[in-house]
Structure 1
């Protein structure tokens, strides 16, 4: 019992203690809640205060920033004023340097002084302060004076290094390079050029225009030097064109244009080396063109004068046109590959001569036709006329200029000389080149070979037409044509034309056949006397013909008196005609191969017929020789004398 009471009191005490702890916790929770509310109220008041502070502090911060920027600007102005005060104070020193000039003070120091003045001037212009305007004008005056003295120094150096004249032949004959400026001079000129060129470019926006003054200085001095050096060679080129014998055919290298072009190339390339060392890269083209222009103009004048001479002597001096085309084209290509310039200027100078060279191909054909048409007589013995060898010699001479002629042929186009001839007679429409002239795969040598063949065919056709009118006799016409063919063929085979034309000479075969046809017309007339028509009696035996041995005596016995008389007449007629033919053959002028050809043709046509006739009827005069003048061996011997 006592134990139970004790346990109850203990439980009651524990509950009481738990209630007491709960009460304590509730009390603390209530205090925490009250504290949270107070904190929230404080935060609200603090936020409201912050907004008020922000609205007040914002303008103050902007003002502070403005004041900071203004302060920095003031500091910058003070620093600029301090910088400007120093150059203004040192202006007298720079002016003294400028007045002394680059020669006394030294080029490097002089350029450094001008660059310092230029820098200060740009700084002062940037500040745009009214108080510095007078100083700016003074500095501009100093810079202008300095640039003028630099230009004068540039001019002085150029003139001191430029001789009044040189002898180009000295450098050409000894294979020496034409002179250029010494390296130390090039270095000084390069310094001056670099500064003045840059100054000119930066000044363009301020009203400057045209080429830099130093370009004009350089071009004026050096162009005169080059033109003077080339003057004698230009004059010699035109003087040498006037031959002592106007009818002499021009020969390669006999005009001074080659030396003239060689000297021009050497001088231009030497000048380009100077220009590259002196001027900025962007100015090279401008300076080279300005320097070479007077010499190019003189070249154009020289070529126009040569062109007038060539056109006046086209048949003999057209080859000069071909040579000029090759030489000036080579000059243009060499300068183009080394400098990248002058090609268009040289092409313009060459154009008149090139056009004359192209036109000459047609003109030469027309000239040959005119000469043949104008022939008032031909050799009565059938000898070839000079126009034949002259025409082939012209083609032979062209081979010496095959390179330029090939390029001309390509530009003219295959057969272009025919269309040009038609246009010159009024057959052309607008003179526009044919598509063939633009064939980039054309072979100039092949086209030239076609031109040669056309020339030969024109020559042969024109001569045949003239021979029909003037010679009339077929045998003489045949000899004339055959001689012409022989001369043409021989001159081609024995010259540099052979590689081009030897495989094409079958074009002459038709003329050889025609010549044979004309010449052997007489043989046909003679052969008529060797044809026999024998009348036999009905019971008589017909003479054998071509079978076994022929017994002339038996044949003659079988003939009647009328037939025998007819045979005698035929022998006599043959003898007369044959002797006349032999005499004429020996009187004709024949080339060796022509004489042999005709002799062989005559023998082949007449001898077999005569031998047959002789075999059958030589017993007509019983060996007395009254009617039968030739036996077989005798007539064979006569034919041998014809070869």
Structure 2
């Protein structure tokens, strides 16, 4: 039963599928006919569709071309407007308006090159040419303005008349500010143009002065006199010009400190380099003429220091060439210190004839004159001596004989302050002079008293020279102690004969206990003492008078020193004036105490 049911359902399914296949074939046939009809329609419509699309593209291109033409017309119009301004020049339209025109062109050119219109080469080239022309005109105007503002002057006249160096007037400063600002904003700064022009202006203004600084061989080979070279005027002129330019730059770059300092430093470097060339020429002359012109090196140091200090008031950066020049000059000054001591030695050794014992040596006058001139350069001498290792660094090699006569002067620290070192140097120079005269006098066969008087006479002149110049201030207390050491040494030599004579007054006779009388031997000894003393004393008095000491103050000082003998004579006189050694005392005692003192006092006349 179930099997029959399944068979019936299967037959129904087959019939249904057969109907579906028939329907599918019918639909497929209809679609084929429809496809043929569509192909015919497509072939008919296609030409019309292509023409419509082409027309749309053409329209779009036309619109774009019209926009490009309008854009180019705008650039061309802007170019024409700016061309009128640029052709007139910044002098007529004003730097600010001129700069705006160039900036507009520059900006427009950038836009044009970055757009589809960049292929319009003529327009691009025209704008580029106008920009170059505008910048060139700006630079020419900058050059003309700088030429007007920085026309060389006679700087020497300003210095000698004590006038301030001229500065750029406000109108030209305003023009320069606009011109320079334009180039800075255009990333095309004209630093070298400005710096070069101002530097040349300064150097041209002192050119003749610089030439006159170079020393010429003098017919009269006298010693160099301070101020006879115009180096100070030259330095003052450069200092004044730099100070004026610092003021100019403060107005020009009131809100641009970095640029202001850069310009000043570069100008100062250029000026400093030329200054050093001039100084080097002068120092070469000094080296060739050390005997007569050595002190000029201190003037060169002084002037170099003035310029360095002036620059330091404006900038933290001192040109390297100036610092290096100062070191070279200091080194030369050290040579001058040593050469002066050598000169003292040579000057004394070359003396053909010594003056009398109470006479002043020409060498003393010469050397103290030189020392006085050196003292005039105290400031620069202090700068130079401070670079030495310590006292005595200036002593020549090999060590001269005078440097070994006295023990080294006591000194504090290894390297004291510069003033102490300069005092020590001047004291060494005085030692070299007076001890040299002492050795020269002894070599000539003079006795110690004569040598002592000779040294004391010259020492008196040394002190007079010192007190009339800055030598006294430089020596100070320690230098005064050094002079006292020399004075005591010379006094001891001078008083040597007086002390020997005074030894006769040293009474060593002894009265035996229980006896009121001297022995005959002692009496004879006292007689001999009086005889020797009287003879030697009268010889010394006569010798002193023969010295003919013209320096009254010195003579009074010497007599005061000789007076040490008075109390000794008084004591000896008091002990023996009663006749304890002889019944005929008048034969042996020639002076009572008053007469003796008067005799000593008479030596002052």
| TM-score (norm. length: structure 1) | 0.69
* Aligned mate of 1:611, from 567, 570, 573: 573
Q: Determine whether 1:470 maps to 2:430.
A: no
Q: 1:581 aligns with which of 528, 540, 561?
A: 540
CA contact (8 A) 2:507 2:572 kept: no
Please say if residues 167 and 229 of structure 1, whose CA atoms lie closer than 8 Å, have aligned partners that are also in contact: yes
Name the structure 1 match of 2:207.
231
Aligned to 2:236: 262
Aligned runs of 1:85-484 on 2, under 5 Å? 85-127=73-115, 131-163=119-151, 165-173=152-160, 175-201=162-188, 212=189, 214-238=190-214, 246-248=221-223, 250-251=225-226, 253-278=227-252, 282-285=258-261, 287-288=263-264, 291=267, 295-314=271-290, 317-340=293-316, 342-415=318-391, 417-418=393-394, 421-422=396-397, 443-484=417-458
Asked if structure 2 preserves the Cα contact closer than 8 Å seen for 1:381 and 1:589, the reply is no
Query: What is the rounded CA distance, in whole Å, between the counterparts of 1:275 and 1:78 in structure 2?
Result: 53
1:526/1:160 Cα in 2 relative to 1: closer, same or farther (>3 Å)?
closer
- Provide the aligned length of Structure 1 versus Structure 2: 526
Give the equivalent residue in structure 2 for 1:508: 483
Structure 1: runs of 5 or more not aligned: 1-74, 202-211, 426-435, 545-557
Judge which range, 270-279 or 113-122, deviates more: 270-279
> CA 1:102–1:385 in 2, change beyond 3 Å: closer, same or farther?
same
Alpha-carbon deviations, 1:135-157, whole Å to 9, x = none? 33332222112211211122222
Secondary structure of 2:306 counterpart:
helix
Distance in 1 (alpha carbons) for counterparts of 2:274 and 2:384: 25
- The answer to whether the Cα contact below 8 Å between 1:614 and 1:631 also exists between their aligned partners in 2 is no
In structure 1, the partner of 2:18 is: none
Q: Would you say the 8 A contact 2:89–2:137 is kept in 1?
A: yes
- 8 Å contact from structure 1 (residues 227, 294) kept in 2: no
Separation (CA, whole Å) in 2 of partners of 1:176 and 1:116: 47
Contact 2:577–2:585, Cα closer than 8 Å, also in 1: no
Whole-angstrom CA distance in 2 between matches of 1:567 and 1:113: 123
8 Å contact 2:523–2:582 — kept in the other structure?
Answer: no
Listed one character per residue, the Cα deviations across residues 27-79 of structure 1 (whole Å, up to 9, x for unaligned) are xxxxxxxxxxxxxxxxxxxxxxxxxxxxxxxxxxxxxxxxxxxxxxxx99997
Report what 1:522 is aligned to.
497
Q: Which moved more, 1:572-581 or 1:109-118?
A: 572-581
Separation in structure 2 between the aligned mates of residue 184 and residue 518 of structure 1, nearest angstrom: 80
Gaps of 5+ in 2: 1-62, 401-410
* Cα contact 1:384–1:484 (8 A) shared by 2: yes
Q: Contact conserved, 2:375 with 2:474, CA < 8 A, in 1? A: no
**Whole-Å Cα distance in 1 between the matches of residues 325 and 66 of structure 2?**
66
